[in-house]
Amino acid sequence: MDSSSVSRRSFMKTSALTAGAAVLADIGTKQVFAAGSDKIKIGLIGCGGRGKGAVNDCFNGAKHVGAKVEIVAVGDLFEEQARNAKKSFAEKLGEGCKINDDHVFWGFDAYKKVIESGVDMIIHAGPPAFRPPHIKAAIEAGKNIFMEKPVAVDPVGCRMIIEASKMATEKKLGVVCGTQRRHAPNYLETMKRIHNGDIGELVSGQCYWGFGGGIWFRDKIGPFEQLSDLEWQCHNWYHWDWLSGDQICEQHIHNIDVLNWCFNGPPKKIFAAGGRLSRDNQILPHIKNTANLERMGKTDGHYNMLGNIYDHMAAELEYPNGARCVSISGHVTGGSSRVGERIVGTKGTSNCSGKIEGEKPFDYKGESPSSMTLEHADLLKSIMDGKPLNEGIRIAESTLTAIGIRMSCYTGRELQWDWLLNASKLDIVPKDLKPGPGHFPAIAVPGVTKLI
């Protein structure tokens, strides 16, 4: 069931920590989880800022719906990250933190140890490249899932998520992802009206995430100087397509997902263009030890240390009903900032997030609790109710839409959705990852880079 079917009304009924939670306990409908407990035991994979934030959101969501949760295991590629996460949770969550020292894991196999640590649910917030195999392993082991977006960096990874999500349905497991707009009351109420035909037939739309400056960069100095080049890349994961999927997957996917939501599915054609104009100038001032530039070498004349992702992309998405929509994204230093969506129908327009103009105007006036809390509340409630949400296929389709835009930009080719979903063999994540030399692909060149 898609998260859009969880209405604002049903959430508000359970969000006040009053009658709903008490009744749930009194009538004996509590689920029994790991080790015979009525508590949902959480394991975190990926202990950076987003991972720690997701755990805090999960605990806040649990309060809304009367769920009992505790975090019992953490895992990260880096020991310091994992240990700092445990310390942070002990300070902030009090009795909710039940992480023993032997449940703090690090290394490329840390995810396996978290999955095997007696948890009921995995929160995955590591680099997107690792999501498909980690999620597949977790679902095979019978774990509920909250995963950040994007869920893959190539079509092969998306297909792995789709198959794992089908397995989750068979196992009656919950799968929710970090596209929080799907859980926000203002979006839910507006989208209900769009789907009811309040703006007529959908004929076009636009979505944006740009431009508003550069992105973070972690230099290879201090404690990070001791990392192998590949470990440093993973620590600095945003800057390579094989780790992040490029900016369009990492951030603009939110807005692309809203367009797909409007049309109840992905586009049938994708045509895009983009490039890399200011990325190097964004990064170079942050490199203190310039000897690393030379030591890491060059690919096609470009310093490997500077990454290979683009800094701007624009696309036309053609949906099955013939509507054509525009997507614009990127990071350009000194650029204007625009983040949002707009959908156009034959009887009106909407920003998708609370406002409709036209024959049936609408202006959302309801409550606006944190949608990053609501996505966890919705997942936890669905698990307790024995009706687990499963957003896996939907988020894989939106991730693949973003990947398709990137592939069209990189190659200069128009793509058909059926080919992208079923035939593309693009698989850009190196196999058997371990500390050692870096993996530095060239910057894509339209007309030269092959469509695979």
Fold of 3-182+372-390: Rossmann fold (3.40.50)
Domains of the chain, by residue range, sit at 3-182+372-390, 185-365+398-422
Per-residue pLDDT at 214? 82
Percentage of the chain surpassing pLDDT 70? 92
Give the model confidence (pLDDT) of 328-340 as tens digits: 999 987 878 999 9
> 222-226, 388-392, 414-418 — which is least confidently predicted?
222-226
Fold of 185-365+398-422: Dihydrodipicolinate Reductase; domain 2 (3.30.360)
* Whole-prediction pTM: 0.92
> Nearest Cα to 279, choosing from 319, 239, 250?
239
Quote the CA–CA distance of 228 and 269 in Å, as a whole number: 41
Give the model confidence (pLDDT) of 151-202 as tens digits: 999 999 999 999 999 999 999 999 999 999 999 999 999 999 999 999 999 9
Quote the CA–CA distance of 452 and 447 in Å, as a whole number: 13
Per-residue pLDDT at 224? 87
Q: How many CA atoms lie within 13 A of 273 on its CB side?
A: 1
Per-residue pLDDT at 36? 58
CB 146 within 8 A of CB 176: yes
Per-residue pLDDT at 34? 64
Cis upstream peptide for 155 (omega within 30°) = no
Per-residue pLDDT at 21? 32
Task: List strand residue ranges (DSSP E) for 77-227, in order.
Answer: 104-106, 121-124, 144-147, 175-177, 202-211
Question: pLDDT higher for 20 or 419?
Answer: 419
In one-letter notation, the amino acid at residue 276 is R
3 state SS of 262: helix
Quote the CA–CA distance of 316 and 336 in Å, as a whole number: 21
Residue 213: C-alpha distances to residues 154, 209, 281, 310, 312 (Å): 26, 11, 11, 14, 11
> 208-217, 312-321, 355-364 — which is least confidently predicted?
208-217
